[in-house]
């Protein structure tokens, strides 16, 4: 059986990294249940890869993996790593966060603070300045017609804003406040998870009201970046230690804090459930 056929029947964890030997970026692929390497050099030849997003789930014949890479976004086969279009969206500033909702891609820009909106099939611009007026937009997450955007203010503060995913209109700009360099976001059911880089924590909040459920659900992290959810399991990319940790999303308890190790500069993660 071909490698990609086997991989489809296990949960796959994708992680961005910078290879110190080649000084080029890549995406690595792991078994999301065991942490075993599926393919250490799944996608290569990248510059500075950061955010990841999966498309075409669960029914697409060819699921796609979108990779934020320096000033562009590439589109790849999520089972084989082959390029569908390596330069799918180009001419961007400093994109970081990425979120997919149906056939819409949202991209945050750390330099301008803008969030752009793009067609996930063609890469065409729908609205490059969909959300504006932020200081340093980073993490993105979508739930229904709500788009959550993390915004870094100053050297150690930050907020999460709530916006209409169709129009870009502000629902509540200060939906969550008192954060410390919020980077990664993940949302499920009625819970919104926020990775705080400065404090080394992941907090969980009510996704409807913004109320704190537990501000330090996970503690003792080292420069946490992006987050990914698979059922009730939360994966956390730790840039400071070059690891990906695996945690219970309800209790915050470590399933395996060193689930993936030996990474260099990791920021983006995404997880693909197995075929049923």
- Give me the chain's average pLDDT, please: 93
∠ CA 162-168-170, nearest 5°, is 45
Give residue 276's pLDDT band: very low, low, confident or very high (50, 70, 90). Answer: very low
- The predicted structure's pLDDT at residue 224: 97
> Which residues 6+ apart lie within 8 Å of 104 measured at CB?
117, 118, 119, 120, 126, 165
Q: What pLDDT, on the 0 to 100 scale, is given for residue 7? A: 54
Distance CA(118)–CA(155), nearest Å, equals 30
pLDDT reading at 1 higher than 80: no
Of 168, 138, 166, 170, nearest to 151 (Cα)? 138
Q: What is the mean pLDDT of residues 86-103?
A: 94
Q: Please tell me the predicted confidence (pLDDT) of residue 157.
A: 92
* Residue 79 near residue 4 (C-beta atoms within 8 A): yes
Bond into 120 cis (ω within 30): no
pLDDT tens for 14-30 read 999 987 677 789 999 99
Q: What is the mean pLDDT of residues 90-106?
A: 94
pLDDT value, residue 2: 46
Q: Which domains does the chain have, with CATH numbers?
A: 1-92+223-246+258-276 (no CATH), 98-113+126-220 (2.130.10.10)
Instruction: State residue 58's pLDDT score.
Output: 63
Instruction: Tell me how far apart the alpha carbons of residues 65 and 227 are, in angstroms, rounded to a whole number.
Output: 16
How many other β-carbons are positioned within 10 Å of the β-carbon of residue 137? 28
Report whether pLDDT(275) > 80.
no
pLDDT tens digits for range 106-128: 999 988 899 999 999 999 999 99
Structural contact between residues 176 and 205, judged by C-beta atoms closer than 8 angstroms: yes
User: Taking residues 129-142, what's their average pLDDT?
Assistant: 95
pLDDT of residue 149 exceeding 50, the answer is yes
> Shortest CA distance to 111 belongs to which of 86, 92, 130?
92
Distance CA 226, CA 248 (A): 16
- Please give the share of the chain, as a percent, with pLDDT higher than 90: 86
The CA-based angle 141-142-143, given to 5 degrees, is 130
Average pLDDT rounded to a whole number, residues 183-206: 97
């Amino acid at each position: 059986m071909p490698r990609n056929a086997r991989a489809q029947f296990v949960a796959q964890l994708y992680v961005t990294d910078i290879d110190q030997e080649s000084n080029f970026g890549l995406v690595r692929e792991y078994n999301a249940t065991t942490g075993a390497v599926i393919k250490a050099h799944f996608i290569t030849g990248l510059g500075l890869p950061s955010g990841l997003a999966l498309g075409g789930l669960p029914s697409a014949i060819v699921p796609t993996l979108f990779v934020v890479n320096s000033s562009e976004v590439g589109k790849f086969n999520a089972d084989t790593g082959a390029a569908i279009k390596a330069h799918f969206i180009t001419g961007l500033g400093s994109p970081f966060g990425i979120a997919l909702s149906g056939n819409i891609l949202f991209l945050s820009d750390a330099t301008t603070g803008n969030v752009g909106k793009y067609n996930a099939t063609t890469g065409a611009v729908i609205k490059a300045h969909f959300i504006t007026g932020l200081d340093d937009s980073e993490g993105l997450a979508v739930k229904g017609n709500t788009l959550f955007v993390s915004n870094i203010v100053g050297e150690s503060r930050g907020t999460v804003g709530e916006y209409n995913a169709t129009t870009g209109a502000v629902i509540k700009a200060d939906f969550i406040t008192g954060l410390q360099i919020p980077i990664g976001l993940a949302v499920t059911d009625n819970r919104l998870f926020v990775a705080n880089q400065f404090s080394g924590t992941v907090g969980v909040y009510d996704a409807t009201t913004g109320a704190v459920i537990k501000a330090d659900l996970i503690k003792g992290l080292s420069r946490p970046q992006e987050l990914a959810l698979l059922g009730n399991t939360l994966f956390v990319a730790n840039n400071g230690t070059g690891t990906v940790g695996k945690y219970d999303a309800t209790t915050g308890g470590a399933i395996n804090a060193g689930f993936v190790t030996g990474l260099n500069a990791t920021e983006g993660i995404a997880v693909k459930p197995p075929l049923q």
